[in-house]
Amino acid sequence: MSVLPFDQRDGFIWFDGDFVAWKDAKLHVLSHGLHYASCVFEGERAYGGRIFKSREHSERFRASAELLDFSIPYSAADLDAIKAEVVARNNFSNCYVRPVAWRGSEMMAVAAQHAKIHVAIAAWDWPSMFDIATKMRGIKLDVAEYRRPDPATAPCRSKAAGLYMICTISKHRAERRGYADAMMLDWRGRVAECTGANIFFVSGGALHTPIADCFLDGITRRTVIDLARRRGIEVVERRIMPEELEGFEECFICGTGAEVTPVAEIGPYRFLPGALSRAMIDDYAAEVQPQQKAA
């Protein structure tokens, strides 16, 4: 299937304080962010023209930059307003929103304290990844060879571009092997997350999820935990070893892109998407959709 390249689309991107034509949003090949991964980003969704948890994303965006030793020159309130304008300017209702910030080309070495900090915000149409019938069949996950790094070796609480290198490699390998994604272990061999989503398991009516100490504590992850507790469902954040997967009844992943998506298979382990996964899908849909929340 042919997909229009992202640099050839129509619309407007907000870039360093101004709206520019989509095809004119460019950076220099010697930008520090390209060579040394001094770049952070966010992944957000708008539903009915409203960006879900926009302020939380804006605050995490700024915090991610601070962890990479630079400051985004816009407040969280500024970013919220700009993102909303990007969605409106492009006439989107349901879409994906991508803020990104990086060091520019003023310095080209490991150190780049005086490089300009650039910020851009784009949005594009991105419907739900799966319809409900497809979701409830569950997706298949491979087990990645690469592991999430020890937090003493990388700024794991930052949504930093460089931390996704091993995610891309792992997802490519999974897709070549016929899987939708890959589950990653942490540096000690414990269950961590998928390449772009957090993971939950069901056992005895309770939700179990890995402690987010070496990977991103996703905004969708926190939303799911809150929704489950509102239902009176016990949520256990703990260390989970791969061999424990055999004893879980259900499994699902969650993230801005995946929303809530059940899993039917992880390597040799099988799961049956059931009532608790369906409840989280429905609750999350009601939480993010303005018209459903108002009903």
How far is the C-alpha of 259 from the C-alpha of 136, rounded, in Å?
Answer: 13
Element (H, E) at 179: none
Helices (H), the chain: 32-36, 54-67, 76-89, 132-137, 165-176, 219-230, 275-288, 290-294
Phi, psi of 74 (to 5 degrees): -145, 140
Q: At what angle do helices 219-230 and 54-67 cross, to 10 degrees?
A: 140
Residue type at position 215? F
Strand pairing report for 269-270 and 259-266: antiparallel
How far is the C-alpha of 181 from the C-alpha of 148, rounded, in Å?
Answer: 15
CB 215, CB 157: distance < 8 Å: no
Strand pairing report for 250-255 and 198-203: antiparallel
Among candidate residues 172, 170, 154, the one with its CA nearest the CA of residue 215: 154
Among candidate residues 177, 154, 176, the one with its CA nearest the CA of residue 164: 154
Tokens representing 119? 């910020």
CB 289, CB 48: distance < 8 Å: yes
| Residue reference for tokens 């520090």 | 32
List residues with catalytic annotation: 159
